Structures are given as C-alpha cells and as structure tokens.
Structure 1
C-alpha cells in the first residue's frame, strides 16, 4: 500500500531480534554513528522484554533468566545487539574444570546433543561416567538431518543411542534416528 499524505516521508519499518551485527546493526546503528547526517533518515527503537512485562505470564521472564546464558539474555530479554554466532555454545567452558579424557566404549549407551540446522548441523556425543554426562566427541558440519543420520550410523553403529535436540533453548527428545536399538 502506498500513502500519499502531505508531510509523510517515504520510509520502512523493520522489526527483528538483535542477533549479531549484520544488516540492521550496520544500517541503523553503525552507519548512523559514522555518518551523523543519516540520523534524520534512520531511527532505531530498541525494546526490552521487560518493557512488555505487564502483558506476560508472571513466570515468563524469571524462567528465561534461569535458563538462558548471558548472551541470549542480552539479546532476547534486554534487546541489545549481541554476537550469537560464535562462542555462545562454549562461552562458559573451562578446559581444566570441564575437560573429559573418557572415550566411548562399543555397546555402551551414547547421548547426542543436537543442533539442527540446514548447512551446518552439529552434535556432541556424551557417555555417562559416575552418573554424569561426559562429552567424548563431536560431529560437525553435517549438511542436514539425513546427512547427520548417515554419519551417526557410520560412526556409532555399535552403540545404543539417544538423541536430544535443541529447540528454542530447551531439550526435546527426537525420534528421527531409526536404526538405533533404543530411542527413549
């Protein structure tokens, strides 16, 4: 729809989450900072989830604060531009505190934490040691779900396996890996 109203300037509105420092950041923040004359053309309204708190369930924000890492809190709750493409998965990893020298043994149950994407799937393979998960290897750069299934079947066909996929920050059980003896 095109409006022709006296005094109304041509424009566009963009609504997005502040993930990364790509187009919206480049155009509405960085370019305006570098060329102040653009400030009359580009405006930015950053909103926080806290600004909408009265319209949310009482436990919504506390549950996110409890379950999200600092980078996601900064982006999704505070509305601040944040790099979510590198270092966010392992940002709290301490090689001395969190390192595991264990290796998986044929026939033992394995647990695979998955990040389902198209083009860059990843999985972290865990075993239980003294009742605690221990990451023993990883699968990276699988193209898509069928490719990941192929890789898992090739590498871990002697194992009993469970897959847990990441969906919006929570773990859900995935039943897509036919061929494993036990999928809970």
Structure 2
C-alpha cells in the first residue's frame, strides 16, 4: 500500500478509531481512493477477515472499484487469481475482499463480516444498512465506512448527523451513551489534487444549488417540495410534552403506516409537535391502544383530528375507524364532513411553518423523525401540483394537515370581487 498516496483529509478518516465512519464529500475529493485504502487496511490488519465493498448496484461496484482494487493489491499478497465472476480477491492471510451490489439484497444476508464499505450511500435504501448489513457486523464487532455525496435530507444526512453528536450523547431516555459514529464533510476544494481552475470552471457552468450539493458537499433541499416553508434548522429542536396541556392528534388511517402526529398548543400560541406514533402494517385498534398506553393519564385532554374517510371505512368487525376510537374512550373526534382539498391542507401547514409576514407558529421535536422526513422529502410530481406518493413519506404530513386545516384553515380573501 506504499504507492497509495492519500491527502490529509483521507488520512484523518482512515486513522480515526470510530467504528462507523461517515464521509460526505464533493466530487473528485478522493472517495474511491479512501474506500480502496480502507478495504485493504481492513483485510490485512488480521488473518481471515471478511471485507465487503457495497455499491448501489452490482454493475456500479464493478465499474467503481474492481479494476482499481486489483491494481492496488500486490500480487504477492494474493492467494491465486482474482475471481472475476464473483468479484472476489483472496489474500494469503486468509482474508477475502468481495464486491457486492445493494440491488441484490438476498446476496447480502447471513454472512458474518469484519468490515464493510458502503459507497454512494445516498442512492441506497436505509434498509440495506439497518436490516441487512449492520446485523452482519454484530458477532465480529466489525466496522463500516459510509461514503457519498449529499442528496437532499435523506437517511445519509441522518447518518452524518449521528456522527456529529460527539464521542458521547444523551439518548431519548436521558441516558448517556457512547457514540460509535463519526462523520466528516469535505468539499471538493479540500483535495490538494484538484486544480482550482477546474473548480472555478464548475462554478461558472453549474447552478448554485447543484454546485453546493455536488462540490461543496452541502445537503440541499429537494426541488418541487410540497412543504417548502419547512427548514429543520428553524423548526426542529427540543419541544417536549407538557402533561398539563391538552393533546391534539392528527390522524391518517393509511394501513402502512398508520400515522399519528401528537401536538400541543403553547401559551404563546405556537403549536409544538411533541411526539409521533408511526405504526407499520397496523390498524386503528392498535393506534388506539398505543395512544392510550402513552397518554392514559391525559385521556380526557385528547382531541383527535382524523381523515374524514375514517367515518365511512369499516373494519373486519363492521365498525368504522372512528367507532373504534370512540370505543377506546376518545370522545373528542373532530373532522370536516366533506374531505378537505389536498391543496387546502398543504397551505394550512405551510402557513403555520411560515406565514407571509414571516411568523413561525409550528415547531417539531427532533424525535419525530418520520414527520421531519415527510416535511422535507414530500414533493410534487414533475410538472404538476399532484403530490408524488412513490416515496411513501407523506402520511405523517397528511395527518398533520387534517389538524391544521380544521383548527387553522387558510381562509379565502375577497378583494375587489375576486376570490384569491
């Protein structure tokens, strides 16, 4: 590995002792070199190490890493020839380096790994790490490196933020825990191997948002956002539940997930989202049970604001969603008889996030991850004002909208006889 020249930023990452390393980097910063060096270090630090490189697709793994990895490993280190079919290199110390694609998840399961590098993380599904790869490191206490370029505020951003919490952090239950994550953010210009003239040329030929995302390694908001007024730097923080205040719950009855957004109105008039209950593959009875479990002492203070369709949709036992809530002891169930227009619900949310005069009336506790994700990532279908539901992140926002449209509707104003 003596011929692998790394710059100071790469060296800082490679030498750090964190178990999980997250690198947010601009184009041509040297992500491939950093990944290649990490793979080789992991495979040679001890005998019989199983090391994987995972790209979004099997084809990308071959294109990004296979040839450069073969060229970097000295032949005297190898046991036999590299396996071109499986993209696998065996070393004389018994270690094996394999290249994989996240598009073939069944081939990633059930193997105990010692180290894994996930490249182009922004284009992978979170389940690739959370449900498939992370469990493979459990028995070996193995490590991981995540490498990518920002792509809106998706799960790669969440990984980056985990690494920014410091060596220890305070969990939601108040306990102090050691943080296995460390993260770095490196713009392209921090690489000493990229001429400044190339960066200047990119600035001239790229729009500001794209340049910030691709070269400055900044997380940018998505275009066509439905909840355009939301800014996590302004709206997200510590907004905790107050047992002395009434509870308002926006409810969406989508089966997967059932979404409950729990709010309280503060003495100053601000609405705080203090909690969320997002239940996948669930039903209305389970929602009622979960809310009752969390807030059994405040049952008389709870008001539900459900999807009006819940008054008509019947469950297996012949009851409507709203009947089930009533039987569970929830007496204040408020909804419009006519289903509110989607645009009206969206406008009512955006106005509370930021009105035309700059007033912010809505805040979100940082634990409400699904609502935050929905507010950031729900977008319109290209060229239309129809919500794009392909990502499935909009349901908590729908739940919020049933509450805001009922209690804080956007009223149409008449000016010179014209309705606006």
Question: TM class by shorter-chain length?
Answer: 0.3 to 0.5
Query: Which structure's residues are more often helix, by fraction?
Result: 2
- TM-score normalised by the chain length of structure 1: 0.38
